[in-house]
Chain A
Amino acid sequence: MSKWNVRSIAAQDTIQPNLIPMVDIMFLLLLFLMLGSDMGQRELEAVILPKGIYVKEDKAPKGVVEEQRTTINVYHLQDSGVDSVQCEVYAKRETCRNPKHWRIAVRGKDFLAPDDKKFKELLKDEADIGRKKKTDKVSERKIMLRADGSAPYSLVQGVMHSCAFAGIYKIECGAARVVAESAVK
């Protein structure tokens, strides 16, 4: 028999932590994430927009119904994913001038270059939506051009050129709003 009078402690299997507050918090977290996440149709590609100080807010004034528009994204291929590319120039946030690294996307559909035949056909179809008469030369359809700040101008110019050929002249250039230092002061 042991010299020491040690009392054996039986493992307590009846401890029940109160999970209800944790569930409450998790529900709130879930609600926040569900409301905050964008699960809509991916019209907007991941683009690092050029920065501008005096950029107009992309919102229709009160009482005015915003016209329908087409969004054209000019983006650089990511370094991971299905259609990936390793680009050191872009990783340093410099202008990548390799045309194979760039894509033009409209509603999730990629095009290789602004002079792509299918891209021009798509623009023509979009322009037709905004034509009051079929014989009209120009279309009132708006285009939102969301081009990456590191994109070479030639690429953006090509897109504008294709829009002009399709008869679209209302082009809005997407830019990220930054707060001017003077405004902060």
Chain B
Amino acid sequence: MAGSTNVGEGSDNPVDINIVPMVDVIFCLCLFFMCSFHFKQLEGKIESWLPKDKGVFGDPVSNPILEEIRIRMMWNANSSKTNIQVNSRSVSTDNELTAVLLANINDYKRSGKTDVPAIIDAEAPVPWQSVVSVMDICKNINIEKIEFASPMPVMAPKKP
């Protein structure tokens, strides 16, 4: 009868393979992979080499000359926002931060200093996202030297 058998099946094919168990297995495999599947997020990186000759590696510098752009980041619990200051000047938006940073870099360039680091001095409760956003802006305006301020370790008093 027409339609009762498929082309290449039944009378044509003497070996009748039961493919139903195979379909079951493939269904199970599909289910497993679909449950464990996740799309890969496009990830990038921001290189931030820690200074080799400062902090835990270096000796404390006596009479340091402040040639730096210090970006203070403070957490405001009331407004749940991060307040940013660049060398004690408050900035409220990313554009303003970029403008202030560029102005600082240009000032240093005019006095012949081209390799001035940006020091991110963030408070402990500041979200990492805010810090990364600042690093991102610094990288965008070609500030290569980004440093992180760290609390000085408590030194044991020297024995007389």
Q: Which residues of A contact B (CB under 8 A)?
A: 14-16, 18-20, 22-23, 26-27, 29-30, 33-34, 36-38, 49-58, 74, 94-95, 97, 137-138, 144, 147-157, 160-161, 163-165, 167-177
Which residues from chain A contact B89 at a C-beta distance below 8 Å?
Answer: none
Contact between A164 and B124, CB atoms less than 8 A apart? no
Judged by a CB distance under 8 angstroms, whether B99 is at the interface is no
How many B residues are at the interface, by size bracket? Answer: 35 or more
Tell me which residues across on chain B come within 8 A of A18, comparing CB atoms.
Answer: 6, 9
Tell me if B19 and A23 are in contact (CB < 8 A): yes
A154 to B33, CA, bound (A): 38
B6 & A173 in contact (Cβ 8 Å cutoff):
no
Max chain B Cβ within 10 angstroms of own Cβ: one of A58, A147, A157: A157
5 tightest CB-CB pairs across the interface, nearest first?
A55-B44, A33-B33, A154-B124, A149-B129, A50-B132
Tell me which residues across on chain B come within 8 A of A176, comparing CB atoms: 41-44
Task: Say whether B33 contacts A34, CB under 8 Å.
Answer: yes
Q: A95, B136: Cβ atoms under 8 Å?
A: no
Please name 15 pairs of A and B residues whose Cβ atoms are closer than 8 Å in the assembled complex, sorted by A.
A16-B5, A23-B26, A26-B23, A30-B33, A34-B33, A38-B38, A51-B132, A51-B133, A152-B126, A153-B126, A154-B124, A157-B150, A164-B57, A171-B48, A171-B50
| CB atoms of B19 and A53 under 8 A apart | no
Q: Which residues on B are within 8 Å of A, measured CB to CB?
A: 4-6, 9-10, 19-20, 22-23, 26-27, 29-30, 33-34, 36-52, 55-57, 73, 80, 122-133, 135-137, 139-140, 148, 150
B23 near A54 with CB under 8 A, answer no
Q: Which residues of B contact A171 (CB under 8 A)?
A: 47-50
Most buried by B among A16, A55, A74, A171: A55
Chain B residue numbers with a CB within 8 Å of A16 are: 4-6, 9-10
Known contacts A26-B30, A175-B132, then 9 further A-B pairs from the complex at CB < 8 Å, ordered by chain A residue:
A16-B6, A37-B36, A51-B129, A55-B45, A138-B52, A152-B125, A164-B50, A176-B41, A176-B43
